[in-house]
Structure 1
Amino acid sequence: MEWLSDKGDRVQGKRAAEDYLMMQTVASVIDADLIAFQEVDGPEPLSKVLDPLKYDFYFSDRVKRYKRSRGSNQFTGWAVKKGVEVIDHKDYQPLGLPTFLSGGDLRYGAYIEVLRENEPSLHLLSIHLKSGCFEKAVRRNNSCKKLDRQIEALAIWINAKHKLGQEFIIAGDFNHYLNERNEWAWKQLLDQTEPNSLINLSASTPAKCKARKFNYRTKRWEHVVYQKLIDHIIASPGAIDKQFPPEAKQYKYSYHAVATYRLSDHCPVIVDL
C-alpha cells in the first residue's frame, strides 16, 4: 500500500482524508475475504483503509519489534474477514536473512493458517522481497544476491509444506518480473522445490498499472504505467481447483483516481479460489 503510515515522515505516506476514502472505495469494490498486504506501518493507518469491524488484522511479528519507532515501517500481514477461522503462526523469519548477530533487516513472511470445513487448511504467507533486482542477473548487484538468498529460503518453506502435505498460497511483492522469459528467480524456485509442487496463478496476468511515483531527484510526482508484474500469487496444486485453475487478475486504477488521489504505486492482484 506504499508507505501506508500516519507518521508524516515519508512523502509517499502523506495522505488526506479523501485519499483514504478512495482507498476504502477500492477495497470495498474488491471485497476480498483474505488480503495479503505490504508496506503498512501498523493497525491504525490500516484501519483508515479496511474497516476493523469487518476485518481482523494479522501483522508481521516485526510490528512488536518496531512498536516505538518514530519513522514509518513497511510491515507485511493479512487482513481476514471476520468469521473466517484463523491460526496466527510465527513469522517465517528466514526471509529477513538473519545472521548470528541479528534477526535480519529485511521483511519477514507473515504466516497464518485458514481453517476450512471439510477441506484442508490453507497455509498463507504474505511476503515483500528485496527491491532493486527486477530483472538483473544474480551476479550483477547486491540486491540480486539478497533476493537469491530469499528465493532459497522460500523454497525451503515450500518444501517443508509439501513434505507435511499442507496446502499453501504465497502472495505479495516479489520485486521481480517472474513472468518474463529470461528471468531467473521463478526458474530457481522451481529448481529448488519438489517437482509439480508449485503453480504461479499470476503467470498469465496482464499488467498495466497506472500510478504516480515520486522522483527523489526532481522532487516531483510522475505519472507512470507499469507494464510488468512484480506482485504475484503462487500456490500448491491442492490449494486450487485442478479442473478449473484460477487465474489472477490485476485491479487497475482509473486515470482520474491516480491523478486526483494518493493511492499506491502497486495495483492489487486478485484471485478467486
Structure 2
Amino acid sequence: MNRLLLALLLLAAAPLQAAEIKLSTWNIAWLTLRPPTDRALPRDLTPREPGDFNLLANYARRLDADVLALQEVDGPEAAARILDPRDYNFFFADERDIQRTGFAVRRNLRVIRNADLEELDLNPHARFSLRRGTDITVEVDGRMLRLLSVHLKAGCREAADEGRDCETLMQQSEILAGWISARRREGTAFAILGDFNRRFPTPRDPVLSQLNAAAPLTRANEGVSNPCWSDARGGRPFISHILLGGPARGWLVPDSLRVMIYAERERSMRQRLSDHCPISVRLRVG
C-alpha cells in the first residue's frame, strides 16, 4: 500500500482530541482607575499603587485563563491594566457601577454577548447597588458554552444567618434558579462563576438546594478548603464558586481545580491585591 495512503488512513482512524479550555473566576476587589477622592468610592478604601497593578498583571499572566469571570472590576479600562487587551476581549455588565461583573475571553474564541441578568440587581438606584450578572456564550471547537458571571449580596454567608441580607440573597437565588431552568430546557452546557458571598458546606444549603432543584449542578470546588490568605489554622470555606450544568458537568477534567495564592503575605496586601484569589478548572469540551 502506498505509504501516503496508509498515513492518511491512520490519521482518519485516530480519535479526535477534544478541545480543552481553562475556566477561571476572580474577584479583584474594587479594581478601578478612579482617584481615591472619587465620591463613588468608599472613604476607607485603600488606593492601589502602580506597583500593585504590576503585581496583579503578573498573577494574571501566570493564571493564563482562556475564559476569566471577573467581579468588582470598573470596566474594560481597569481590566486592561492587568490583562493584555491584545490577548483578551472584555465583556462587562451594562451599568455604571464600579463593582461590575464581566468576562475576559481569549481573542481566538468566538463570543456571543447575551443580555445582562439585570434582575440580580434588586436595588439599581442605591449608591452601592447590587450587581447584574454578565451573560455570554463561548464557542469552543464548535460546542456552545453559556456562562454567567455573578457577585451576589454579602452578609448571609451561613445557612444559620437571618435578616434582610439573607432575604435579598434568597431572592437572587430564585432569579438564578430561573436562569438555570431556562438553560436546562434548552439542553445547553452552562456554568455560573463568581462571588456568591455564601459558603456551601453541604448540598443541603438552602441557596444551593434551590439552584440544584432547577437543574443538577456540579460544584467544581466542592469538598475542598480555600487556601487563599490561609494562616496557621489552615484554609477557609470558599465563597466564590464554579457551578457547572448540563453537558458541561461531563466536561470537567478530574482534579483540575486550582487556587492561585499570592506570594505576598502581609495583611496590608489583601487590600492592595485582593482578598480573593483566582480559582480555575479545566474543561475538555467534546
What's the TM-score once normalised by structure 2's chain length?
0.78
**Alignment equivalent of 1:85, drawn from 84, 89, 110:** 110
**Change in 2 beyond 3 A, CA 1:245/1:155:** farther
Is the Cα contact below 8 Å between 1:174 and 1:230 reproduced in 2? yes
Tell me by how many angstroms 1:150 deviates.
0.7
Looking at structure 1, the residues matched to 55 and 201 of structure 2 have their Cα atoms a distance apart, in angstroms, of 30
What is aligned with 1:151? Answer: 173
**Alignment equivalent of 2:49, drawn from 5, 16, 20:** 16
What is aligned with 1:174? Answer: 196
Identity over aligned residues, as a percent?
34
Q: Does 1:48 align with 2:48?
A: no
Structure 2 unaligned regions, length at least 5: 1-27
**Alignment equivalent of 1:268, drawn from 278, 281, 284:** 278
Q: Which has the larger radius of gyration?
A: 2
What is aligned with 1:130? Answer: 153
Looking at structure 2, the residues matched to 171 and 132 of structure 1 have their Cα atoms a distance apart, in angstroms, of 19
Q: Does 1:160 align with 2:160?
A: no
**Change in 2 beyond 3 A, CA 1:225/1:56:** farther
The one-letter code sitting in structure 2 at the alignment partner of 1:271 is: V
What is aligned with 1:238? Answer: 247
Looking at structure 2, the residues matched to 154 and 82 of structure 1 have their Cα atoms a distance apart, in angstroms, of 28
Looking at structure 1, the residues matched to 251 and 30 of structure 2 have their Cα atoms a distance apart, in angstroms, of 37
Is the Cα contact below 8 Å between 1:210 and 1:225 reproduced in 2? no
Structure 1 unaligned regions, length at least 5: 67-72, 212-223
Tell me by how many angstroms 1:116 deviates.
2.4
What is aligned with 1:219? Answer: none
The one-letter code sitting in structure 2 at the alignment partner of 1:230 is: I
Is the Cα contact below 8 Å between 2:252 and 2:281 reproduced in 1? no
SS state of the match for residue 32, structure 1?
coil
Looking at structure 1, the residues matched to 209 and 107 of structure 2 have their Cα atoms a distance apart, in angstroms, of 37
Is the Cα contact below 8 Å between 2:89 and 2:105 reproduced in 1? yes
Tell me by how many angstroms 1:54 deviates.
1.2
**Change in 2 beyond 3 A, CA 1:205/1:86:** same
**Per-residue CA distance 1:218-258 (angstroms, 9 max, x = gap):** xxxxxx98611000000114114369545533211124476
What is aligned with 2:59? Answer: 26
What's the TM-score once normalised by structure 1's chain length?
0.81
**Alignment equivalent of 1:186, drawn from 208, 211, 218:** 208
**Change in 2 beyond 3 A, CA 1:247/1:147:** farther
Q: Does 1:199 align with 2:218?
A: yes
**Change in 2 beyond 3 A, CA 1:40/1:240:** same
RMSD of aligned C-alpha atoms?
2.9
Tell me by how many angstroms 1:95 deviates.
1.3
Tell me by how many angstroms 1:18 deviates.
0.8
SS state of the match for residue 49, structure 1?
coil
SS state of the match for residue 105, structure 2?
strand
SS state of the match for residue 175, structure 1?
coil
Looking at structure 2, the residues matched to 156 and 29 of structure 1 have their Cα atoms a distance apart, in angstroms, of 36
**Change in 2 beyond 3 A, CA 1:81/1:12:** farther
Looking at structure 2, the residues matched to 256 and 157 of structure 1 have their Cα atoms a distance apart, in angstroms, of 39
Looking at structure 1, the residues matched to 274 and 49 of structure 2 have their Cα atoms a distance apart, in angstroms, of 14
What is aligned with 2:238? Answer: 229
**Change in 2 beyond 3 A, CA 1:84/1:265:** same
Structure in which a larger fraction of residues adopt strand: 2
Q: Which has the higher contact order (CA 8 A, sep 6+)?
A: 2
SS state of the match for residue 266, structure 1?
coil
SS state of the match for residue 51, structure 2?
helix
**Change in 2 beyond 3 A, CA 1:243/1:173:** closer
